[in-house]
Amino acid sequence: MSTPRYPLVLVPGLLGFVRVLGYPYWYGIVTALRNHGARVFPVLVSAVHSTEVRGEQLLQRIAELREQTGAAKVHLLGHSQGALTARYAAAKKPEWVASVTSVAGPNHGSEMADYLDRRFAAGSWQERCVSALMGVVARGLGWFESGYQGPRLPIDVAAAHRSLTSEGVAAFNAQYPQGLPDTWGGQGAAEVDGVRYYSWAGVITPGVTDRGIRRFEAMSLMCRICARYGFQRETGQCDGLVGRNSSHLGTVFGDSFTFDHLSIVNQPLGLVGKGDDPVRLFVEHAQRLHDAGL
Catalytic residues: 80, 239, 261
| Average pLDDT of the residues of the chain | 92
Q: Is 98 a domain residue?
A: yes
Q: What is the pLDDT of residue 269?
A: 82
Q: Is 3 a domain residue?
A: no
Q: Which residues pair with 191 in a beta bridge?
A: 196
Q: Is 2 a domain residue?
A: no
103 SS3 class: strand
The boundaries of the domain holding residue 207 are 8-291
Q: What is the pLDDT of residue 182?
A: 95
CATH number for the domain spanning 216: value is 3.40.50.1820
**pLDDT of the chain along its 294 residues, tens only?**
678 999 999 999 999 999 999 999 999 999 999 999 999 999 999 999 999 999 999 999 999 999 999 999 999 999 999 999 999 999 999 999 999 999 999 999 999 999 888 887 777 777 788 788 888 888 998 899 888 888 889 999 999 999 999 999 999 999 999 999 999 999 999 999 999 999 999 999 877 766 666 666 788 888 888 998 889 999 999 999 999 999 999 999 999 999 999 999 999 888 776 678 999 999 999 999 999 999
Q: Is 1 a domain residue?
A: no
Q: Is 134 a domain residue?
A: yes
Q: What is the pLDDT of residue 210?
A: 66
User: What is the count of structural domains for the chain?
Assistant: 1
Quote the CA–CA distance of 166 and 172 in Å, as a whole number.
Answer: 10
Q: What is the pLDDT of residue 215?
A: 67
The answer to whether the CB of 202 falls within 8 A of the CB of 241 is: no
pTM confidence score: 0.94
Strand pairing class (251-252; 195-200): parallel
Nearest C-alpha neighbor of 44 from the set 76, 22, 13, 88: 13
Q: Is 124 a domain residue?
A: yes
Q: What is the pLDDT of residue 1?
A: 60
